[in-house]
Structure 1
Amino acid sequence: MSLSNRQIKLINSLHSKKGRKENLLFLVEGEKCIEELLKSNWAYEILVLNENLRSSFENLSNVFFLSEDQIKKYSALQSNSFGFAVVHINENPESNLHLKGINIYLDGIRDPGNLGTIVRICDWYGINTIYVSEDTTDFYNPKTIISTMGSFTRVNVISTALHTIIENNPEIQVLGTFLEGESIYQIKFPQDMLIVLGNESNGIRQETENLIRQKITIPRIGGAESLNVGISTAIVIDNIIRGKS
């Protein structure tokens, strides 16, 4: 069974944010992400797999088997030879704005790979919701999704303004990561908190900084100018959890 022209046109449209928004669909690519998708309750429209996988997946519904060259032709990622799925966007993710425990807010993250990595890190540490500014890169970008390595099925990404969260949680401690601030090795973290991490190049913007109650930093011992935002997220979360254990 071959893909129809309509299906091909749909798949190609999902390479852009506009197409994903109009169709309320996105692409999930690669072996690990598809395995996690099939174990989850996320609904897919069609599944397109390498023809060599027919014996393992032919019992699934709405599945097409194509050559490796065809998969690469339609894929948004040139390294993808396993296959991809067209998946329905979750229009109503759980958006509880009454925060407890450790919470992450991303202020203007632009790199899809960084967002995907942070989703994966939060999944590792049992944090199932991430809050992001409205100009943060698209969660449903294929590069973001594949960088999550399947964690997108377990972590909600909620786009909202920081002041909205604060208005709903007036008592929550808002901490932001800066090059200068109180060392994460010395601070006593509160029970309920929101950790703000900033843009890869410019850090936390001024209007966001004005809402932060405490500046924290990862002490620099060597000569590196900065840390990747994904690495920073992991270090901060790990120190918070170890301090609470």
Structure 2
Amino acid sequence: MMMNLFSTFDPSTTLLNLSLNWLSTILPLIFIPLSYWILPSRFNFIWKNILFTLHKEFKLLLGPNQLLGSTLIFVSLFSLILWVNFPGLFPFIFTSSSHLTFTLTFALPLWLSFMIYGWINNTQHMFAHLVPSNTPPVLMPFMVCIETISNIIRPGTLAVRLTANMMAGHLLLTLLGNSAQSISVNLLSLLLMIQILLLILETAVAIIQSYVFSILSTLYSSEVI
């Protein structure tokens, strides 16, 4: 019996003092390299089109002052989070993106590098960004405090948003799966249909959350350029 419901999201499976649950993070690397395919498949063609579309969108968000190759960071971030989210939809595979250790590893260094770059190279712009345009002089000190706090909590909101959204659907599926043993046979088909619909929803959430994480990271970086 599961003593703690949230133990589903705890990477506690160990062998020789190694956490085996984190191995699901490197499983997508098997499918990505093109060197494993003799000829480009339809999957490779579709994936290249998706990456090219994302490249154009990130390039538009970063603006004309972007650094060369900066969109590759966010396209790679989208790809990695997406490929980590998908294995978690299968039973008995730990979803790395549902753990704050994984999400903070990306959110905190990205935010910190943006802040260091912005304050060193565009100091005047960073100070001006603390006060929105057309702000009354009386409200300027309060706006500086509000903007500073909202800027500091950005890595936390990035990490918690991805973790909470990935955990919520998996938690609901776990609850429904555990209740299947105590319901009647007539309701079992209804429960199965609900779980199929939730699984489809979780597939959409896996795509959307990776897109949201990379888009917000792009917007945060465009503010410091």
Higher RCO (C-alpha under 8 Å, 6+ residues apart): 2
Q: Which has the higher strand share?
A: 1
Please say whether Structure 1 and Structure 2 have the same fold, judged by a TM-score greater than 0.5. no
Report the TM-score range of the alignment, normalised by the length of the smaller protein.
Answer: under 0.3
> Which has the higher Rg, Structure 1 or Structure 2?
2
